[in-house]
C-alpha cells in the first residue's frame, strides 16, 4: 500500500473540519477541554511532589501570602 502523508493529513483535516461543522462546539472549547485534561492529569501525577514542596516552603518560612 502506498499512502502519501500529505493525502492523509488532508483527509484528517477535512474529516475534523466536517465533524466540527456537524457539532455545536467551537475550537476554543475543544482546546480548553484538552488543556483542562492535560493539567488535571499533570496535577494528579505530581500531587505528592506539590504537597511536599508546599510543606517545605511553609516549614522554611518561604511561603508568601497575598
Average pLDDT of the chain, as a whole number: 87
Return d(Cα 61, Cα 66) in angstroms, integer: 15
3-state secondary structure of 63: coil
How sure is the predictor about 64, in pLDDT bands with cuts at 50, 70 and 90?
A: low
DSSP string, 6-49: HHHHHHHHHHHHHHHHHSS--HHHHHHHHHHHHHHHHHHHHHHH
pLDDT at 44: 95
Q: What is the pLDDT of residues 31-40, one digit of tens each?
A: 999 999 999 9
Amino acid at each position: 500500500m502506498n499512502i502519501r502523508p500529505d493525502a492523509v493529513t488532508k483527509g484528517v483535516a477535512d474529516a475534523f473540519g466536517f465533524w466540527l461543522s456537524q457539532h455545536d462546539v467551537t475550537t476554543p472549547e475543544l482546546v480548553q477541554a484538552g488543556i483542562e485534561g492535560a493539567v488535571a492529569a499533570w496535577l494528579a501525577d505530581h500531587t505528592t511532589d506539590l504537597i511536599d514542596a508546599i510543606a517545605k516552603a511553609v516549614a522554611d518560612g518561604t511561603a508568601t501570602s497575598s
